[in-house]
Chains A and B, each alone.
Chain A
């Protein structure tokens, strides 16, 4: 690579980093600033750390720190759905990529259909389904529908299709390995990158989903963080649909801090998934 192209490459990547990074830098600084300073001060100014503490205690004052309960709920719901989704997606993606069976095309097509269907269209029927079996208001009404993850099946399908050659499986077959055994000892060890991606995107989906818990849960002690924050900010008027911009001034630092709290686990998940991806690739290289 020549010095010029290396420079151009770095410039392009860093320019993009500024574009994608600036909004979050602003959000990171917002809780330190007062509402006045946000509108009149320098765009990336730093206020005082004390303001962050104040904003946090305001958030905590809502129903005796119910926010920590919501964080716990969200973690439990998301973890359960992600584990269940992985158990469903990885074997299915493997079979769809590596076996030609009756119904394969139907499964692939119907998965695309349910993936593309506007999610809101499914929420009411899902509610009726759950209330028919008496599960509304329970954690299962959130966990079970969210563990159906056609997007994850596609990630697994594409991964096995691109990275697991039939010759590798045939070699195992010659040795007399059963098909399930092949999945377990050839497919699964090669699935690490797909597992990391499905787990991460599945986690993001569960963590940020609003509609489904909104419809299924009614007791605020079972709320997810997203749902709880929405009810908190609405009841305190930080973001108000009807009066909008004017009211937004009142609790901006709290809204910004709440947003940061809500997206911190996604950052952690991202770093964990990347670490998992990297070690997986190293392990592959050692074997190869």
Chain B
């Protein structure tokens, strides 16, 4: 049940003729709203919620019969989970801040001077993310091999002599993080740059008239105006980072044996499903990853008031 907005004080002259019209509109607008959202709601139910519900059910089933928390207990008892969770945490701590900084600084710097050059540069920033599958495995393996990589001088500077050096110990996390930034930053730069260019010009011009420096305009005017987008980047990136799968898989395709096939949590879920054929455990672990992502999303959403409408913002 939704509560209606409190009646306005009758002393406000303008309120009297407006109130009844508003009331009528609500009735009609409900029908209109459902025409607009119901096709999506149907798809959400059929291709999102129903399969998700089935996955939840699967997580409680073992060998065809209901088995309570057995799958969940087995997953959390798996010694590989602790290792994988440690790897993913280290990866997130390095990758997420670097990604956010890269995305924000490049999008804002590009927006300081919009135009054709900004468009072309965005395409360049997007390029690594467009390479997928076997080509990505080939590409990144060569990128981390000092002798054949265009980044060779840089790698040698960091005392990386062979691809094996790059993919072992602490440098593996760094390699994965750099690769993750290269692959994911471009798309977000496009989203954020698009959000910035769509901002109303008068507000930005007003800031310039005020004599605010470029830095102050960015920090106090532009950033607050796109805060919901930044929140969205944060939610999505945290989820995709905590579910990192492609980067370690791609590197281990090129150099098998160097990177554990269960390096990340999502890879472990994949091993459960494909090698063990244990869909119950795979579903339980996937849902555990969902829970972590949702916790982060909830924190970001409540802190940024992402769901506010014009009306609720005012009220």
For B201, give its contact among A12, A154, A259, A288 (CB under 8 Å). A288
Asked whether, in the complex, the Cβ of B109 is within 8 Å of the Cβ of A178, the reply is no
Q: Which B residues are closer than 8 A to A by beta carbons?
A: 1-2, 25, 28-30, 32-37, 39-41, 43-44, 46-52, 54-55, 58, 102, 105-106, 109-110, 112-113, 119, 121-128, 130-143, 145, 147-152, 182, 185-187, 190-191, 194-195, 197-201, 214, 225-226, 228-229, 232, 235-236, 239, 243, 245, 253-257, 266, 269-270, 273, 279, 282-283, 286-287, 289-290, 293-294, 297, 301, 307, 309-312
Interchain nearest-CB distance for A28 vs B (Å): 10
Q: Which listed segment binds B: A46-54, A57-65, A68-76, A159-167? A: A159-167
Q: Which residues of B lie under 8 Å from residue A41 when comparing CB positions?
A: 148
Q: How far is the CB of A25 from chain B (nearest CB, A)?
A: 7
Residues of A within 8 A of B239 (CB): 115-116
Q: Does A217 lie at the interface of the complex (its beta carbon under 8 Å from any beta carbon of B)?
A: no
Q: Which of A114-165 contact B (CB under 8 A)?
A: 114-118, 120-122, 124-126, 128-129, 144-145, 147-148, 150-151, 153-155, 158-159, 161-163, 165
Name the residue on B nearest A263 (C-beta): B130
Provide the residues of chain B in CB contact with A79, threshold 8 Å: none
Cβ of A107 and Cβ of B41 under 8 Å apart? yes
Q: 1/0 per position for A186-229, CB-CB distance to B under 8 A?
A: 00000001001100110010001010000000000000001001
Contact, CB under 8 Å: A13 / B110: yes
A12 nearest CB neighbor, chain B only: B109
B132 near A112 with CB under 8 A, answer: no
A22 on the interface (CB 8 Å rule)? yes
**In contact, A244 and B256 (Cβ under 8 angstroms):** yes
**A200: nearest chain-B partner, CB-CB:** B190
Partner of A26, one of B37, B102, B139, B283: B139
* Given A100-B312, A162-B195, A154:B286 Cβ within 8 A: no
User: Does the CB pair B48–A23 fall under 8 Å?
Assistant: no
A248 to B228, CA, bound (A): 44
A91, B109: Cβ atoms closer than 8 Å: no
Choose among B55, B255, B269, B289 the residue with the greatest number of A CB atoms under 10 Å from its CB.
B55
Do B28 and A239 touch across chains, with their CB atoms under 8 A apart? Answer: no
Contact between A128 and B123 (Cβ–Cβ < 8 Å)?
no
9 A-B pairs in the complex with CB atoms less than 8 angstroms apart: A22-B150, A91-B37, A100-B2, A113-B290, A124-B58, A125-B58, A148-B48, A161-B309, A179-B29
Partner of A87, one of B39, B48, B253, B254: B39
- Most B CB within 10 A of own CB, among A30, A147, A166, A270: A270
Q: Of A113, A128, A288, which is in contact with the most chain B CB atoms at under 10 Å from its CB? A: A113
Q: Which residue of B lies closest to A92 (CB)?
A: B40
| Known interface pairs A126-B47, A201-B187; A39-B134 also in contact (CB < 8 Å) | no
User: Contact at A226–B106, with CB atoms within 8 Å?
Assistant: no
A20-B185, A112-B294 known, 15 other contacts, Cβ within 8 Å: A13-B121, A16-B121, A101-B34, A115-B236, A121-B52, A121-B290, A122-B48, A125-B55, A125-B58, A162-B225, A200-B190, A244-B256, A245-B255, A259-B134, A260-B135
A43 to B: closest C-beta gap in Å: 4
The 10 closest A-B pairs by CB, nearest first: A259-B135, A179-B32, A125-B51, A114-B48, A121-B286, A92-B40, A125-B54, A148-B47, A91-B36, A95-B36
Q: Is the CB of A88 within 8 A of B40?
A: yes
Query: When the two chains form their complex, are residues A101 and B33 in contact, meaning their CB atoms are under 8 A apart?
Result: yes
> How many Å lie between the Cα of A163 and that of B185 in the bound state?
24
| A21 and B33 form a contact (CB under 8 A) | no
Q: B227 — nearest CB in chain A belongs to which residue?
A: A162
CA distance A87 to B102 in the complex (A): 33
Q: Report A-chain residues with C-beta under 8 Å of the C-beta of B25.
A: 173, 179
Beyond A19-B182, A113-B290, whether A38 also contacts B148 by CB under 8 A is: yes
B126 to chain A: which residues have CB within 8 Å?
A: 20, 270
Is A9 in contact with B36, judged by CB distance below 8 angstroms?
no
Chain B, Cβ-Cβ closest to A211? B270
Q: A19-B182, A121-B282, A158-B195 are in contact. Are A263 and B131 (CB under 8 A)?
A: yes
Q: Is the CB of A117 within 8 A of B52?
A: yes
In the bound complex, CA of A19 to CA of B178 (Å) = 10
Residue in A closest to B117 when the chains form the complex, CB atoms:
A13
Report Cα–Cα, A258/B134, bound state, in Å.
9
CB-based contact A259/B128 at 8 Å: no
B277 nearest CB across to chain A (Å): 11
Contact A197 B191 (CB under 8 A): yes
B311 touches A96 (CB 8 A): no
Most central of B130, B191, B235, B301 by chain A CB within 10 Å: B130
Asked whether, in the complex, the Cβ of A121 is within 8 Å of the Cβ of B283, the reply is yes
Q: With both chains docked as a complex, state the minimum distance between the C-beta of B282 and any C-beta of chain A, in angstroms.
A: 7
Q: Which residues of B contact A285 (CB under 8 A)?
A: 201
Contact A120 B270 (CB under 8 A): yes
